[in-house]
Each structure stands twice: as C-alpha cells, then as structure tokens.
Amino acid sequence: MRALGILLAVSVAAHGHTGQGRNRRPTKAAPQIKQTRDRIDRMKTLLAAKGRYGCCAKPSCDLCALRNGSCGCAVNLGKGAGVCGQCQALRTASTAGSPEAGVPVLDSARQALPGGPAPELTVELEEIRAMLLGAKRIMVAEGRYACCVKGGCAECALEGECQCGGRLAQGKGICGSCLDGWHAGEGLYEGIALADLKLEPMEQMTDREGMAPAAPGAGWYLSGTSQTPAASPMFMTQRRAGAWTVGGMGQAHAAYTAQSSPRGGDKIFSTNWFMPMAWRRAGGGTLTVRSMFSLEPATVTGGRYPLLFQTGETHQGRPIVDGQHPHSFLMELGAAYSRPLGERTSLNLYGGARGEPAFGPGGYAHRLSQSENPMAVLGHHYQDSTHIAGNVATAGVTHGRVTLEGSGFLGREPGEARWRLERGGIDSWSARVTVTPSARWLAQFSYASLTSPEAREPHVNATRMSGSATYVRPLGRGHWASTVLWGAHRKQAHDGEPAAAFHSYLAESTALSGNNWVWGRFELTDKDGTLAFRGEAPVGQVAALTLGYARELNPETPWFSAALGGQVTLFRAPEALRGFYGRSAAGAQVFLRFRVRN
C-alpha cells in the first residue's frame, strides 16, 4: 500500500493541476472492479446477517466493510459520535444540501465493531482488498486515478476513476471516502486544514448525474424513460447552479438530399433537436426537469423533406408520401423522479405535457447507433413515433438489471400545427420491460394500445409491439454502437375490413475511431397502399441499405463539435410499386453536423 501511495502522489503531481475531466475510455480494470463490487455486496449481506453491519445510509457504504469487516455507523450516529466519510457523503446526497448539522465525521477506522472481522470472512476480506488494489494500479497506470489520500480511496475506485487529487488542488470538493481518509490523517497534501475540505457526493462528481441509471446495473436514461447501455458515451455539457445542476444536449444537421426515380426530389433542410435540463437531489432521490425543442417546423419547409417510400402524417390535409414530416417544436416538457428503495431497487416516476412513454427503444433521432445519420428510418411509425406523445404519465420499478414500466398517454400523434401542443386526455397505454445483461448490452420488449393515433384515420385504433437489442463497445479513441429492432403495428378492424398488420425490421451500426465516423443501416419495412394511392392495405416490403462516412472538423474545440459527411441509400421496391419507382431507387445526402459536447 505504501508503494501505491507514492505512485498516487506522483499521479496527483502530474495531473492534479491540469483540471482535466473524466477519462472517456473505459478502464481496463473494469472486470476487476465488477468482481470486487459483487464480492463486497455479498460480504455486506453476510455481515448484516451476523449483526455486524449496521450502516446509517441507504444504499449502504462500502468503506467500513473494506476497512474493518464490520460497520458501526448506525450505532455511532445514535450516540452522536459521528459517521464515516462515505456515509456522510451518502447522507448529504439524500438531503440535497450541506452535511447535516451536528453529524461529525468519525473516520472508518473507528467505526469497527468489537471483536474484529468475522473469522470466516477474513480471507474473503483480504482477497477483496487485493483485487481492489490491483484495479487501482491499473487505473494509476492509465492516468485516470489521481487520489488525495494514502492508498487511494475505494469509493472512486469502484466508479472506475478518481480525480479527487486534481479537484482538491483546484479548491473543489472530494468524495466521502477521501474525506474519511483526511480525518484519519492520511491526506497527501500539506497545509490543508480539515475545515477547508469540501464534500462532494459521488452523484455530483460524475458527469452524467441527470442521466443517471435508475439503479445499480441499469442503463443510462436516454430520452423519456428509455435507456441506453451504461457503456455509452454521453455528448452533454453541464454546470452547477447552487443545489441544481444545469445541463444540455443537442445536435443539428444542415443537409442537402437528392432522391432518384420519378417520385424523388432534392432539397436543402435541417434536422435538429436541443435538450436543456436541470436536476437536483430531493427527498432521498433525484428530481430532473427536462425539455426538448426542435426548430424543424422552420428548417424543414413545405411540411416535409424528400425520403423515398416514407409515409406518415399529413400536410395541408393530405397524406405525406415519399417524404418525412418535421418534428414538433416542443418535443418534451416534463419531469422525472427516481428514488432508491434499497441496495439494488428504485422507484422511477416520469410525466409531463409532452414526452416519451414506456414503449420501444429511444427514438431514432437520439440513438447512439445512428447518431450521424440525418434521415428518418422508414419504419418510424411502426417503431418509435410515440417518442413525442402528449400527457405522459409513467411509473416503473428497477431491480438490479431489470426495469418494469407502464405508461398512460394521449395516443394521437402530433398534428400539422407543429408549434403548439395537441389537446386531449390520456386514452392510450403501454408497458415495457428493459434488461441490461452487462454495461454494454441492453434489450427491451414493449407493447402499446393506441387510441386514434393517425389524424387521417380518426376512427381506427391500433396496437404496437417492439423488441430491440443494443450493444455499445468502447474503442481506444471512440466507440461502436449497434441496434437491431423489430416493430409491429396492427390496425383495428373497421367498416368490415380485416385488421391489417405491418412489420418493420432494422439493423444499424455507427463507429467512431479517432476523427472518423462510419455507419450503416439496413431496413425491411412493410408499406401500405398510400404510396400507390390505393388505400391502407399492405402492398409489400421495401428494403433500404444506407452507408455513410463523416470526418470531425474540430476535434480540439470545447463545447461543440462539427463534422462533414455524406451517405448513400439504395432502395428496393416491392413488385406492386415498381410501376411507380422502378425495381430500385437511390438517395444521397451531404451534410454538416453540429453537436454539443463536454
């Protein structure tokens, strides 16, 4: 441990004054960290069963277990003697303010219960400490672990990175585990008084608090209540404002498209979205106020941009054919609240005037696996058109790696008046189960019952189903994200006509390596007679293959990134539509992409 302390001191000297942010690449110590985390949790369960783990916080701290093999924080809190540094941080986070008045820090070394560690767990404890030490050594070598206490804190180590040394050098707050170490006389810096130390709970030190997972093992929130794998990078900027953290995401494509065949066309347009949000701790959980806006009602003129074989919604009372409608100005306006109910369980609530109910993966405009593609998917109205719904109310529970959710919402999709909200009460519902087998994988299955979703068929209800799997793999200088998605849309029988079922299948993948983006998307989508002016019955399946490339133009510029790119799409028409399109058709786009970044 002394050797590691010296190595940590060197690392602090090298990195502590740079103010560098969190390392975006995953640490090579991730497997050791996961195994350590699992073994700590099992050990705490065994200690609690033996009456030797009485923590005062929820979720409970790890510090006392690692240091002592027991925890007396709850007992010592009752006596007024104080709690360990990590418990202080956890309790501070739960009250969304400064440390509770009259609750001092009693370092973890003095939280041990009499009798020492349980004899049968002594070997287990030593193995856990050795595993964590090995993980710290890897992170120090990666330049991502610069702690401010001897031996390095455990709290940040289990998060995969520590910048407490650099934060302390800049006068910022440190984690509760480091605070505990300073109270134990293990601080690495000279001339710093305990009164000068600032506590910053782990939730406030990470750069994605507002998108935080619902519970340990879950994915990150993407939009509404949809999740993305925890290994996903998040293009986001944020700043503290008192008890609140204010953040924002957003991107815009300025594009030119040209579509072949007699039904094609060309156009200059922009697809875009901007997501301001703010969050804070409240009532033992996290309250997030969210909004999302798009200027597409102004930047997509004429009510559409050309996209062969695309249908859905109307413009000036007529169905849109071979074109994609713009998003509404107000895409989301709501709030989310997540509160832990235990070590691995949390309650999740979400609602607002407009938002995304519990159906499908995140909308195509927000998926990492198609982040560079400016064009909509052909199966949008079968897969994820509910990502902009009115009067959404969602409740869910996350336990470990499984999230169950249910929503009520307004089934009618946004109309042509894209600058304002639609009126109507909750008349539709959905349910979704999301599973995160690992930090890189996420799968979901969902079902929705929709009341009058389409304005052109106001008396027709529908049901939808969606299944998808997403994989995100961090790369040395980038990432690789892929999604496979199935969506089914079944119209209710009416006026003596049989029920019509439509299916769509999609596989998309996007990779960033250095400053180079490459992506592809393949779709198979059932289409109806709207394309041939023959009513609503199915007419066949359209196939589309897209390949694209973009180059980052300003990799070192803070706040935003820009890329220049282009793509080509090849379409294959079904037999019933070849008189209108020919056997095949093509489309191409060139664009400039702008994105908010850290």
Tell me: the pLDDT tens digits for 142-158? 888 989 999 899 988 98
pLDDT score for 498: 64
What does the domain layout of the chain look like in residue ranges?
2-205, 212-596
- Whether residue 4 is predicted with pLDDT greater than 50 in this model: the reply is no
Q: How far apart are CA 441 and CA 284, in angstroms?
A: 29
Strand spans (E) along 283-361: 285-293, 305-315, 318-324, 330-340, 345-355
- Whether residue 343 is predicted with pLDDT greater than 50 in this model: the reply is yes
Nearest to 390 by CA among 422, 430, 365, 359: 422
Confidence of residue 263 (pLDDT cuts 50, 70, 90): confident
Higher pLDDT, 566 or 311: 566
Confidence of residue 361 (pLDDT cuts 50, 70, 90): very high
Give the SS3 label for residue 175: coil
- Whether residue 500 is predicted with pLDDT greater than 50 in this model: the reply is yes
Determine contact, residues 535/529, Cβ cutoff 8 Å: yes
Confidence of residue 210 (pLDDT cuts 50, 70, 90): very low
How confident is the model over 62-78, as pLDDT tens digits?
Answer: 999 999 999 999 899 88
How confident is the model over 422-467, as pLDDT tens digits?
Answer: 888 999 999 999 999 988 899 999 999 999 888 777 888 999 999 9
pLDDT score for 141: 87
Confidence of residue 2 (pLDDT cuts 50, 70, 90): very low
- Whether residue 383 is predicted with pLDDT greater than 70 in this model: the reply is yes
Higher pLDDT, 582 or 546: 546
In the numeric block, which tokens belong to residue 262? 């007699």
Higher pLDDT, 88 or 405: 405
Average pLDDT over residues 208-234: 68
Of the candidate ranges 48-62, 217-231, 256-270, the one whose mean pLDDT is the lowest: 217-231
> Per the CATH hierarchy, to which homologous superfamily does domain 212-596 belong?
Porin (2.40.160.10)
Task: Please write down the long-range contacts of 252-255, taking CB distance under 8 Å and 24 or more positions apart.
Answer: 252/593, 252/594, 252/595, 253/374, 253/591, 253/592, 253/593, 254/591, 254/592, 254/593, 254/594, 255/374, 255/589, 255/590, 255/591, 255/592
Residues whose CB falls within 8 Å of the CB of residue 475, separated by 6 or more in sequence, listed in order: 511, 512, 513
Q: Is the peptide bond before 59 cis (omega within 30 degrees of 0)?
A: yes
**To 5 degrees, how large is the angle CA 422–CA 427–CA 428?**
105
**To 5 degrees, how large is the angle CA 367–CA 373–CA 379?**
70
Determine contact, residues 486/453, Cβ cutoff 8 Å: no
Q: How many CB atoms sit inside 10 A of residue 556's CB? A: 6
Nearest to 498 by CA among 542, 541, 460: 460
Q: How far apart are CA 125 and CA 188, in angstroms?
A: 25
Determine contact, residues 65/40, Cβ cutoff 8 Å: yes
- Whether residue 220 is predicted with pLDDT greater than 80 in this model: the reply is no
Please report, as a single letter, which amino acid is at residue 538.
P
pLDDT score for 350: 95
- Whether residue 21 is predicted with pLDDT greater than 90 in this model: the reply is no
CA 296 centroid distance within chain: 24
Q: How far apart are CA 43 and CA 48, in angstroms?
A: 9
pLDDT score for 489: 92
Confidence of residue 304 (pLDDT cuts 50, 70, 90): very high
Q: How far apart are CA 500 and CA 526, in angstroms?
A: 11
pLDDT score for 102: 61
- Whether residue 330 is predicted with pLDDT greater than 90 in this model: the reply is yes
Sign of CA dihedral 166, 168, 172, 173: positive
Give the SS3 label for residue 309: strand
Nearest to 8 by CA among 168, 125, 126, 197: 168
pLDDT score for 8: 41
Higher pLDDT, 101 or 497: 497
Mean pLDDT score of the chain, rounded to an integer? 85
Average pLDDT over residues 110-125: 84
**How would DSSP label each residue in 222-263?**
-STT-EE-TT-----EEEEETTEEEEEEEEEEEEEEEE-STT
**How would DSSP label each residue in 22-63?**
---SPPTTHHHHHHHHHHHHHHHHHHHHTT-B--SSSSPPSH
In the numeric block, which tokens belong to residue 40? 């700590």
Q: How far apart are CA 280 and CA 11, in angstroms?
A: 32
Confidence of residue 201 (pLDDT cuts 50, 70, 90): low
Share above pLDDT 90 across residues of the chain, in percent, rounded to a whole number? 46
Determine contact, residues 198/172, Cβ cutoff 8 Å: yes
CA 14 centroid distance within chain: 32
- Whether residue 273 is predicted with pLDDT greater than 50 in this model: the reply is yes
Confidence of residue 244 (pLDDT cuts 50, 70, 90): confident
Average pLDDT over residues 327-336: 94
Confidence of residue 215 (pLDDT cuts 50, 70, 90): low
Helix (H) or strand (E) holding 383: helix 380-383
Q: What does pTM read for this prediction?
A: 0.71
Q: How far apart are CA 361 and CA 384, in angstroms?
A: 7
- Whether residue 351 is predicted with pLDDT greater than 90 in this model: the reply is yes
Select, from the ranges 188-197, 315-324, 436-445, 540-549, the one with the highest average predicted confidence (pLDDT).
Answer: 540-549
Determine contact, residues 215/396, Cβ cutoff 8 Å: no
Strand spans (E) along 160-243: 220-221, 227-228, 237-241
